[in-house]
Amino acid sequence: MAVNLSTPNPADLRPVAGVRLGVAEAGIRKANRRDLTLIELAPGSRVAGVFTRNRFCAAPVQVCKAHLDGNDIRALVINTGIANAGTGEGGLAAARETCAATAQRFGIAAQQVLPFSTGVILEPLPVERLVAGLPAAQADLRADGWFDAAHAIMTTDTLAKAVSRTVEVGGRQVTITGMSKGAGMIKPNMATMLGFIACDAALAQPLLERLVREAADESFNSITVDGDTSTNDSFILIATGQAGNAEIVDAAGADWEALRAAVIDVAVRLAQAIVRDGEGATKFMSIVVEGGAQREECRKVAYAVAHSPLVKTAFFASDPNLGRILAAIGYAGIDDLDVNALKVWLGNPDESVMVAEHGGRAASYVEAAGARIMAHSELSVRIDLGRGQAAATVWTCDFSYDYVKINADYRS
C-alpha cells in the first residue's frame, strides 16, 4: 500500500501544447492490460535525457542515446512487461524495429523515435506484438492523455504517478506535466524508473540538457528503495517551445530560475511518489545529512543509512534500534569522521528528538520517544556531521514482508 499517495486526478493533469499521448493493449507480456504508450511531439520540440549507469544497460537505452545525438525527436514509444535488457544483438534489433515501425506510422525517420522498455530482464521483446499495437495507440493520441499514459507505463506500481504545475516565464504561462513509474529496483544512478516531463517553454538545447541533469540530481538521483540499479532507467525532459515566451538562452535571468525551479519541483514530486509507492512500503523516510565538508560525502552517509536493510526493517517494525543508524554512518566511507562531533535526530511531522551526540546516546533520549515517533508513516532522520556547511537529502522507504513477496513472485 502506497504511503500517503493517491491516484492523480485527471482534471489536475494539464495538457502541454505540442504533446499528444496514446495507449493500447498490445499483450507484451500479459493480456488485457494497457502496456504500450506513444508520445507524439510537435515539430521543433527539443528533447534531452539522462540514463542508467548500469553497464548492462538495456537495448532501448542504447538506442535512445544514439538517437538523441541527432536531436530532432518527434515520437517516444514505451512498453511495459519486458525490459529488453540482457538480450544482446537480438534486443538491439527489436528496439530498432520498434523505432522503424513507429516512424513509418508518423512519416518520420527511425532516428527521430526514442524507445523505452520496462519489465522482466533477460527475456526477448515480442516486437511483433508491440508493432501490432501501434495503430491502436496512435488512434488514441490526444493532448489530455497523461492520466492513461501514467497507468500504461506501470509495472509493480500500485498507483499511477503524474503531476502538473504552471509557472510564469517571460510574461507567458508555461505548463509543465510529468509522469513516472517505479516501485522496486530503485537506486541511482539513475533510480530504477522511467520518468517523462514535458513543458511548452522555449528553451535552448544546451540549457535543456543542463536542466535535465540538474533535475535528475535533485530528484530521481536522490531516492532509493532497495539499492539495486536497474538496466533501463531513463529520464526525459521535453520543451516544445509553444508557450510563446522568448527563448531562454542563458542561465543568468529570472526566466531561467523560474522554469528551473518549477521543473525540479515536478521531478521531486514524481521521485518521491516512487518511494511512497515502493514495493511493500509502509513508511516514507527522509534522510537529511548536514554539516558535511562536501555535498558528496553527505550523500554517501545518507545512502548508507537509506540502503541499510537493518535500518529499513527496524523502521518497518517501529523498533527504535537506532544504533543501526550509527553503524551505517560509520561505514559510509568518511575515513576521518569525528564521531564525537556527530549528532542524530529522529523526527516525524509532530516532533523531533535527539538520539545521539558526543559519540553515543544523547543524554535526553528515551526509547519510548523513539518508539512513539517511529509509529508514524512519515519519518525523518537528521544527521549533523559537524564538518562544514554542505548538505544533502535522500528519500527512501522501509522494508516490509511484502517486499520479499512481491519480488519472489515478480514473474508469476
Residues taking part in catalysis:
192
- Cβ atoms of 47 and 68 closer than 8 Å: yes
The dihedrals phi and psi of 209, each to the nearest 5 degrees, come to -70, -35
Q: How is the beta sheet containing 46-51 ordered, strand by strand? A: 46-51, 234-239, 194-199, 172-181, 161-169
> Which residue in the block uniquely carries the three cell numbers 544483438?
89
Q: Which three cell numbers stand for residue 36?
A: 504500450
Considering only CA atoms, which of 200, 203, 189, 199 is closest in space to residue 243?
200
Burial of 339 (0-12, 13-18, 19+ CB in 10 A): middle
| Angstrom distance (rounded) from CA 67 to CA 18 | 20
| Angstrom distance (rounded) from CA 262 to CA 281 | 28
